[in-house]
Chain A
């Protein structure tokens, strides 16, 4: 089968655009394949990607656990690393959501309105990859090829905090060869919830177990999401049940093109 070079990729909708990659701390250390895929995808679409080395973490692990003072360092670091950019893009609905939803409150509490305004402005320029592609670059067909059965878990923070809506679905539907299978009870939480999984391990496991069962029931080869920590949680349980469903980040599918194996 010959597949012609997809128009979206040849059109290079990101040509001349400078984008700062917000890798997120967990991806940096635990899932480097995801930010690597983000770089390759954005470059394929014509963007010039920069990675500001000063960046660390969005700070939500602190803020969500109630440690507001401890979160402030992360907010300041984020400001230092990204203030000079017009577009900041991260492969995590959860971390992007935290930047947009919490940074301003934390900055105003700790450093007053002047810093709060600056932080809010940077946050408003921070996008989840799926939003950046669809809303800013205006593409849904990113020229990806992934001939597999895939089911998608819309992570809570992607849907309800970052509010990415159906953009991930739009992008997945445009992937050549991909068979998208609906996940039963898709919008229910997988039970990860950051420190929730440690503070309430039994409830968290019960939720992850139900999610894993729903995933297994689809018969998909891959479980896809826009947040690696949800994938880690669900696939951690799936592995135990030997369901054989592989976790994959949305961006890794989108970055996959015909020549890749």
Chain B
């Protein structure tokens, strides 16, 4: 408790994200959390049904997806020009543009900007990129408190937790857990909740409202991300549901928006497509309750100092990969998370990143490279069922990209120096490839297994293959496997068809 209070804001959980255990181990831990599994199943089922319903209302949904894909692909092709156009127009409107190559540079810029204001705290609109670069912690280290104002982000922050989902970061929590977090933590960082707080959503939201109101009224500086940045007009766009974003974007004197360089849209008209695709895909709503568009500064209205920090942090590397770059089209709607059977069971934490689920499984190794164990395991955190491909509003072929990233991981492993220990997988695959290269090899292997099944089946009287040695034990630990048949199809064909000819 003592160490915690030395901090300005609640400490996140121990452990650097990059040191997270690899996915299969992390997943095992998460799977054992039965409360979370129930919460996840309930939440993902509800939201994906809602999405299906509102998507079904539009007869031109596939056309919209095609348009979304085409616009985003064009952005990728001419990103440099659009970024410069954006800079020019944003500056003309009275804003300041900063460029950041990586997380460290972005944080350095933000810290300096906040320090210039002389403020010691800021309010935040929920943003993925500020989490990606761990901005809150960078500010904390410089004596600046960053307060999350999105309800779910507030729950995560006060709960000393990590977000589990892109759009609904506290999706893994139920309301009685939220009540406990509020009662325990809220008062230590601001206005406390009423003593008789129950777990009614209305009352929980009311407590958060009072707590946040104090912070909004005091704040002179805020940060945001942006859902879209429009090159043609130099405008930034944020969509949200609670109005907390609107408060952060309008009340303070200084607004610092941290934006990934892929967020560009060429023209204002392009928004039409995305303001239909995004809310339907993400929260299953026809329209976002709040859509804020701002272009530089206006005398007597809104923040007087407006900055944007354009962040690369690995994005140009993704762009350099002709197949992989499709992932940059992502508009972070999280439809792929909500439909994913793997995400539904393990939640977001197992992915060791702010980007979980299918998109996280490709984006993290793309942005961070494939050196770490977690990034090497992520492309395999999918059964390739393909459900994500069908819901993605910008038609990212997610399962193809998963396979593409797997190939990169395999190639990287093959190049590892000899002292790095590996499983026998490459040898097993090479041996299996030899079997499949020529039918005579397959027939030889078939003979081996026939013999095996006769011996086991005949001598031991087994009806099923018993426990198998590792790694196949991972299968037989949970499942029965029938005996192999005594005759392959090939042999049946030779006996019953070829000989008759």
Binding site for B on A (CB under 8 A): 23, 25, 27-33, 35-36, 39, 49, 51, 53-57, 59, 61-68, 70-71, 73-74, 76-77, 81, 102, 156-157, 160-161, 187-189, 191-209, 232-233, 235-237, 239-240
Contacts and interface: CB of A to CB of B under 8 A. Distances in A.
Interface stretch (B58-66, B185-193, B468-476): B468-476
A192 to B, nearest CB: 7
Contact of A201 (B345, B389, B437, B478): B478
A160 B28 contact: no
Interface of B: 23-24, 27-28, 31, 341-342, 345-346, 377, 379-387, 389-390, 403, 405-411, 425-426, 429-430, 432-439, 441-442, 445-446, 449, 464, 471-472, 474-475, 477-482, 484-485, 487-490, 492-493, 497
B24 A199 contact: yes
B485 A67 contact: no
B284 to A, nearest CB: 18
B490 A31 contact: no
A29 B488 contact: yes
A206 B29 CA distance: 13
Contacts of B23: 200
Contact of B471 (A161, A198, A205): A198
Given A51-B497, A193-B383, A65 B31 contact: no
Contacts of B492: 32, 36
Contact of A73 (B345, B382, B387, B437): B437
A29 B341 CA distance: 30
22 contacts: A28-B446, A39-B497, A73-B434, A74-B436, A76-B437, A156-B383, A156-B386, A160-B389, A189-B341, A191-B383, A196-B383, A198-B475, A199-B377, A199-B380, A201-B475, A203-B24, A203-B346, A204-B383, A205-B477, A205-B478, A236-B480, A240-B478
Given A160-B386, A193-B384, A30 B485 contact: yes
Contacts of A199: 24, 377, 380
Contacts of B477: 201, 205
Contacts of A23: 489-490
B467 to A, nearest CB: 13
A109 B480 CA distance: 39
Given A36-B492, A66-B406, A207 B478 contact: no
A25 B436 contact: yes
Contact of B403 (A25, A35, A66, A70): A66
Given A160-B386, A194-B384, A239 B479 contact: yes
A33 B482 CA distance: 14
B406 A65 contact: yes
Contacts of B430: 70
B345 A196 contact: no
Contact of B442 (A25, A30, A198): A25
Contacts of B379: 66
A193 B214 CA distance: 51
A203 B490 contact: no
Nearest to B487: A32
A73 B479 contact: no
Nearest to A159: B386
A86 B268 CA distance: 51
B433 A196 contact: no
Contact of A31 (B341, B346, B485): B485
B216 to A, nearest CB: 41
Contacts of B488: 28-29, 32
Q: Is chain A's binding surface mostly helix, strand, loop or mixed? A: helix
Contact of A193 (B382, B437, B480): B382
Contacts of B485: 30-33
A233 B471 contact: no
Contacts, number: 193
A202 B385 contact: no
B436 A29 contact: no
A56 B442 contact: yes
Nearest to B482: A232
A90 B71 CA distance: 39
A62 to B, nearest CB: 6
A64 B437 contact: no
Given A28-B490, A29-B449, A29-B489, 17 more contacts: A30-B484, A51-B490, A53-B439, A59-B436, A63-B403, A66-B409, A67-B433, A68-B410, A188-B387, A193-B382, A198-B471, A198-B472, A201-B474, A201-B478, A206-B345, A207-B345, A236-B480
A35 B489 contact: yes
A68 B346 CA distance: 29
Task: Give the 8 A-B CB pairs with smallest separation, nearest first.
Answer: A236-B479, A193-B383, A66-B406, A73-B437, A189-B385, A160-B386, A201-B474, A66-B410
Contacts of B449: 29
Given A27-B489, A197-B475, A56 B436 contact: yes
Contacts of B342: 200, 203, 207
Nearest to A240: B480
Contacts of A203: 24, 27, 31, 342, 345-346, 381
Residue of B28, B432, B439, B492 with highest tally of chain A CB at under 10 A: B439
Nearest to B23: A200
Given A56-B439, A202-B31, A237-B479, A160 B387 contact: yes
Nearest to B471: A198
A55 B438 CA distance: 8
A25 B445 CA distance: 11
Nearest to A28: B489
Given A29-B488, A32-B488, A156-B385, A55 B439 contact: yes
Nearest to B464: A239
Contacts of A188: 341, 385, 387
A207 B429 contact: no
Contacts of B437: 56, 73-74, 76-77
B385 A200 contact: no
Given A236-B478, A236-B481, A189 B387 contact: yes
Contacts of B406: 64-66
B436 A77 contact: yes
A161 B481 contact: no
A190 B200 CA distance: 36
B383 A192 contact: yes
Contacts of B433: 62, 67, 70-71, 73-74
Contacts of B434: 73
A77 B410 CA distance: 23
Contact of B432 (A53, A61, A160, A206): A61
Nearest to B342: A203
Contacts of A29: 442, 445-446, 449, 484, 488-489
Contacts of A70: 429-430, 432-433
